[in-house]
Amino acid sequence: MKTTTKTKNLVVLFIANFSILFVGMGLFPILPLYASQYGASPTEVGIYLAITYIAITLGSLTAGWLIGRVSGRVAMLSAGALGAPAVFLLGQASTLWQVMALTAVIWFTGGVGLSSISMFAAASAEANERGKWFGLISLTNPLGAILGSMAVGYLVEQHGYGVMHTWLAAEYALWPVMALLIQGKITVEKTLAKPSQSGVAISGKPIFLLMSAALLTAFTVSVARMGLSLEMKAQNFSASEISNANVIGGVVTIPIILSMGMLSDRLGRRLFLIVGMMVSASSAVLLGVANHLWQFWMISAAVLAARSINPSLASALAVDILAPGALNKGLARLNAINWIAGIIGFAGAGYLMENLGTAALFHMAAGASFSAAALVGMMFLIKKQTVSKPALTPAPCA
């Protein structure tokens, strides 16, 4: 695949990822407020958010199953055609169950899209550029938070939820269109080279440690995301102030994400992954003591940085250690791990918050990230049993 085509692919994948996260990052902070309008309790809010993550988990796994049966473009087009109307209809909902069902459809289709984009990136990037590619694509997290939250905050305050969802539906329709512009297709070698010629670790322990660490740190991020909205709501901050915290957090994280993705290509992904996990732990610790707006800005920045850095570096590291023939399913499962952690975090967070208190919940969440960092540290101790890894074989450009 030529350099100009690769650059074009990176831009297209960036725009597609941004389109999904613009809606997701913009909507997510106000979902607890939106559900509260329909009489949802903290426990029901937790269940509601857990349902969204069940949906996005199924979407991620569905993408891994679909690729190989239909093209990545067809998967993205179909999911986008289902998701955009659901965004619009969410603004017309009249009952809590309708809100939950429509939100689940949106997050399911987003899971299909995000996993497909990750697979396209893995098939397009060279080995020495994976940190850069996944890092740049993950930059859509803070950008989506900034622009999505600004748009949502303004539209809700000025025009109400109905108009806001109409605008978001139009924006959400952008990412399936981007699928038509992607060059090449998702493909990797289906047969493994001999062990002496493969860069894949013979033991499955590294990928097991990586997925376990991803689960733990994503649990922390999920608890912190939900806790941020509920804590600000409990302290009588407005929907606009909650959205603005997301905006400011996004601005702060942009240079961090840009630098860490590229530095990981040079200095090692495991080291920066541990740093990202420490950042996620700090967000939970700070939530236990925050009572001023500027403190919530700091927490929002830490959450967004962790949510962007950890999955992107984990994906790049997974591409390094997975066999080519196992890459599509491996990346889909790794993406699903993040959402599974959200299910556990959201389903349990509301209940624990009501029964044990916020302090115990946030300490538990911080401990999960410290444990995740320890697991990644153990990967340093596993001796590599390989020499080199064959590069992914991208399909000829269309």
Could you report the per-residue pLDDT of 209-238, keeping only the tens digit for each? 888 888 899 889 888 888 887 788 788 887
Residue range 234-256: average pLDDT?
A: 78
Angle subtended by helix axes 42-66 and 327-355, to nearest 10: 170
pLDDT of residue 196 exceeding 50:
no
List Cα–Cα distances, 50 to 147, 176, 204, 212, 324, in angstroms.
25, 25, 30, 19, 32
Q: Which pair of structure tokens corresponds to residue 29?
A: 């902070």
Q: Which pair of structure tokens corresponds to residue 209?
A: 């440690």
Cα gap 283→293, rounded to integer Å: 14
Cβ–Cβ < 8 Å for 23, 171? yes
Cβ–Cβ < 8 Å for 156, 257? no
Cβ contacts of 246 within 8 Å, gap of 6 or more: 25, 26, 29, 145, 146, 148, 149, 300, 304
User: What are phi and psi for residue 94, nearest 5 degrees?
Assistant: -120, -10
- Residue 361's pLDDT band (boundaries 50, 70, 90)? confident
Q: Which of 127-136, 338-347, 377-386 has the highest mean pLDDT?
A: 338-347
Where do runs of H (alpha helix) occur along the chain? 3-27, 31-36, 42-66, 72-90, 96-124, 130-138, 140-159, 161-172, 174-179, 205-234, 239-267, 269-287, 293-321, 327-355, 358-379
Q: Please, what is the Cα angle at 115 between 110 and 116, to 5 degrees?
A: 100
Cβ–Cβ < 8 Å for 347, 48? no
Residue range 352-379: average pLDDT?
A: 85
Report the mean per-residue pLDDT for the chain: 78
pLDDT of residue 107 exceeding 90:
yes
Share of the chain above pLDDT 70, in %: 84
What is the reported pLDDT for 388?
A: 41
Please give the distance of CA 305 from its chain centroid, rounded to a whole number: 11
Terminal CA-to-CA distance of the chain, rounded, Å?
Answer: 10
User: What are phi and psi for residue 67, nearest 5 degrees?
Assistant: -65, 125
Cβ–Cβ < 8 Å for 188, 328? yes
Q: Which pair of structure tokens corresponds to residue 87?
A: 């965004």
Cα gap 214→270, rounded to integer Å: 12
What are the pLDDT digits (tens) for 125-162?
666 676 677 777 877 877 887 888 888 888 888 888 88
- Could you tell me which residues are beta bridge partners of residue 67? 70
What is the reported pLDDT for 131?
A: 67
List Cα–Cα distances, 226 to 14, 28, 305, 331, 337, in angstroms.
26, 9, 16, 25, 18
What is the reported pLDDT for 234?
A: 81
pTM: 0.67
What is the reported pLDDT for 125?
A: 65
pLDDT of residue 394 exceeding 60:
no
What are the pLDDT digits (tens) for 57-105?
888 888 877 776 777 778 888 888 899 999 999 988 888 889 999 999 9
What is the reported pLDDT for 104?
A: 94
Q: Which residue has the higher pLDDT, 113 or 331?
A: 113
